Amino acid sequence: MVESAEKQWYVLHTYAGYENKVKANLESRSESMGMQDNIFRVVVPEEEEHEVKNGKDKVTMEKTFPGYVLVEMVMSDQAWFIVRNTPGVTGFLGSHGQGSKPTPLLPEEVEQILRTIGMSARHAELDVEVGDSVTIVDGAFSGLVGKITEVDNEKMKLKVNIDMFGRETSTELNFDQVDPVVK
């Protein structure tokens, strides 16, 4: 079998109603089996639904694709085996059975799905270090430029100092909320 060393997004089919359980199981199995370099993010696509009940605004999270979970991973035999044998997973979408490797989602499909649920797939390419300047492109501080004071590649988060009302303020941002300032 050909191994793909590139991380890509795949769709898992699960028992309906077990999506969050599959996410939790897969994340804990990835950690306990030392597969953090092969299995990265597990996402249950959900959207906020607002409804007014008894005069009160009620917010619930509705599954965008019930029975499906997205997983960002490097497709290796071991990673495939761990994901495929996670309790609640019935298989990969785009797999033709008998141990064949599934087809990954196209980058534009992933971007569209993640954007719909308020996430982004582009943060993986962020190449910055402490002292670099970044432009904030998402969130309350959108449009401001700040200086990086901390980079957490594992959690994909940055600590950035920005100038607010003449004072330096530290804020924590996700990789996908910033663009590097070109030097």
Give yes or no for a contact between 135 and 173, defined as CB atoms under 8 angstroms apart: no
Residues 6+ apart with CB under 8 A from 68: 11, 12, 13, 14, 19, 45, 93
Beta bridge partners of 69: 12
pLDDT at site 2: 42
Contact 123, 134 (CB under 8 A): no
Domains (ranges, CATH) in the chain? 7-119 (3.30.70.940), 127-180 (2.30.30.30)
Q: How far apart are the first and last CA of the chain?
A: 43
The answer to whether the beta carbons of residues 169 and 161 sit under 8 Å apart is yes
CB 121 within 8 A of CB 9: yes
User: Is residue 40 left, alpha or beta, with left meaning phi > 0 and alpha meaning psi from -120 to 50?
Assistant: alpha
Predicted local distance difference test score (pLDDT) of residue 183: 64
At 45 the three-state DSSP class reads: coil
pLDDT tens string for the chain (183 positions)?
A: 344 468 899 999 999 899 999 999 999 999 899 988 899 889 988 877 778 888 888 877 788 889 999 999 999 999 999 999 999 999 998 877 666 789 999 888 888 887 777 676 555 557 788 999 998 887 778 888 999 999 887 777 889 999 888 899 999 888 878 888 876
User: Residue 173: what pLDDT?
Assistant: 85
- Is the distance from CB of 13 to CB of 90 less than 8 angstroms? yes
pLDDT of residue 1: 39
Phi/psi for 172 (5° steps) reads -100, 130
Is residue 33 helix, strand or coil?
coil
